[in-house]
Amino acid sequence: MSTNNPLTAKAIAKMIDHSLLQPDMTDNDITRHCGIAREFDVATVCVRPYDVAFCRKLLEGSDVGISVVVGFPHPNSTTATKVFEAKQTMADGATELDVVMAYGKARSGDWNFVEEDLQAVTEAAHAGNAIVKVILENCYLSRAEIVQSCQICEKVGADFVKTSTGYAAGGSLADDIRLMRSSCRPQVAIKAAGGIRTLDDFLEMMAAGSTRQGTRSTKEIYEEALKRESENRL
């Protein structure tokens, strides 16, 4: 790490979307985790659609944004449903949308469907000044399909491509991130999610090219980063 641009625990926190997506989480769980997000000043909390308005109140006055998932974890909804979900959650306070690509259609070779579906959601999101992160679910895709998916995401104007939901057969792999990074122009960022539980996991994904990470292990990652920073080992 260059001494001109040192990595810090605070900088690491601002690369985290604190994930609150488990379907059995209660309101008390959400409240507690929004407190963690505030404490460590993460980039966003990534939440279920019906939690957006609740989280907006919990995070009022903080610098923590709200990401929401669309068509999650399975991209089975129609395009119109996804667009409606995007508009409703933005109205509730979401500023970033993590939308799952129709990877079954990608695997079928129906790239026109994939592009038109993502184009519609991206246009709706950008009309509401929201950032779009497209979840590819890489574990179900070939390398060629990952490349083409990234190219389509760039074409429709997505802001990020993301590795996975964290609820499929596989999560983030550094090799996949390197492939995604090489398949998009620099203006398209990479988000890693799925299996990022330690600082070393975080740093591996970052080194591969990811600038945002989805994880529930924020506290553990931050505290280890702070420890290493104090010891000049970060």
E strand residue ranges, the chain: 16-20, 44-47, 65-70, 96-100, 131-135, 160-162, 189-193, 212-215
Q: Rg (Cα) of the chain, in Å, rounded?
A: 17
Catalytic residue chosen out of the listed positions 17, 51, 82, 98:
98
Catalytic residue chosen out of the listed positions 17, 133, 191, 201:
191
Neighbours of 231 (CB within 10 A): 8
Angle at 167 between CA 113 and CA 208, to 5 degrees: 85
Distance CA 22, CA 19 (A): 8
98 is catalytic: yes
Catalytic residue chosen out of the listed positions 51, 82, 162, 176:
162
CA dihedral 127, 128, 133, 134 (to 10 degrees): -50
191 is catalytic: yes
227 is catalytic: no
Which residues form the catalytic set?
98, 162, 191
